[in-house]
């Protein structure tokens, strides 16, 4: 589960790799940092963020799968909807609902892997963490539009990801796509269709309402 949630707001691929000489955060590309600083400055002004996206999963030995998704994030609270599951967090608890089983698992927010979900806003914190080296590797066309491709390479050899790539529109300076290669051979693509900022959401949006799911099986793993 952690892989999918992290990948929702990460992803990567690139025919150009970061040079072997780039081995620490001190080697980061200043031109890439300028673009990332601008994105982060914009996202930091948002009180909330609603992201409509497509998630493409390519796993070894399996057919490619595309899921429609929507995530709403407000401070530490979020709601994530995919075709096969939904995740809610009000900052205190996390509810993971699996549609095919009509089952929900409840965890303390700081205990479940779901708390590791990254939104586009969270993803931009990575470049300041010192845990990645990054650089502009190309300026290709993506769906007919010119983009800047920024590749991230984890400095930790034990990272579950081999690399991550962010695509930023040269025209609008907006994040448009992210891709990930996992060391287990999985390949994931996140295509951002729309980002809406500063919407108003009631607290109930971020909590699972069992009355809307007749017969739901509840597995409560909270410590308290």
Strand partners, 178: 190
* pTM score: 0.79
pLDDT of residue 110: 77
**Parent domain of 131:** 2-220
What confidence score (pLDDT) does residue 168 get?
94
What are 159-195's pLDDT values in tens digits?
A: 887 888 899 999 999 889 988 888 888 888 889 999 9
Look up the CATH number of the domain holding residue 115.
2.50.20.10
- Point out the residues of the chain with pLDDT beneath 70: 1-25, 111-126, 224
Name the H helices within the chain. 2-8, 30-43, 120-123
Of 54, 49, 123, 112, the residue nearest 82 (C-alpha)? 54
Number of domains making up the chain: 1
Segment holding 173, helix H or strand E:
none
Cβ(41)–Cβ(87) below 8 Å? no
Taking alpha carbons only, the member of 22, 2, 14, 15 closest to residue 159 is 2
Q: How many angstroms separate the CA atoms of 40 and 122, rounded? A: 9
Q: What is the pLDDT of residue 123?
A: 63
């Amino acid at each position: 589960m952690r892989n999918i949630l992290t990948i929702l707001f990460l992803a990567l691929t690139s025919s150009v790799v970061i040079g072997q000489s780039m081995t620490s955060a001190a080697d980061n590309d200043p031109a890439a940092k300028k673009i990332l600083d601008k994105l982060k400055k914009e996202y930091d002004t948002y009180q909330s963020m609603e992201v409509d996206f497509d998630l493409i999963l390519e796993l070894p030995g399996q057919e490619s799968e595309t899921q429609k998704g929507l995530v709403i994030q407000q401070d530490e609270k979020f709601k994530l909807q995919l075709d096969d599951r939904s995740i809610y967090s009000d900052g205190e608890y996390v509810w993971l609902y699996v549609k095919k089983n009509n089952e929900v698992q409840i965890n303390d927010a700081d205990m479940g892997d779901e708390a590791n979900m990254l939104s586009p806003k969270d993803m931009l914190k990575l470049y300041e963490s010192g845990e990645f080296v990054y650089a502009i590797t190309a300026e290709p066309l993506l769906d007919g539009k010119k983009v800047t491709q920024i590749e991230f390479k984890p400095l930790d050899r034990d990272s579950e990801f081999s690399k991550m790539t962010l695509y930023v529109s040269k025209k609008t300076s907006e994040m448009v796509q992210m891709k990930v290669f996992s060391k287990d051979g999985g390949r994931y693509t996140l295509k951002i269709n729309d980002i809406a900022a500063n919407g108003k959401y009631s607290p109930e949006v971020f909590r699972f309402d069992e009355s809307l799911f007749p017969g739901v099986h509840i597995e409560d793993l909270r410590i308290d």
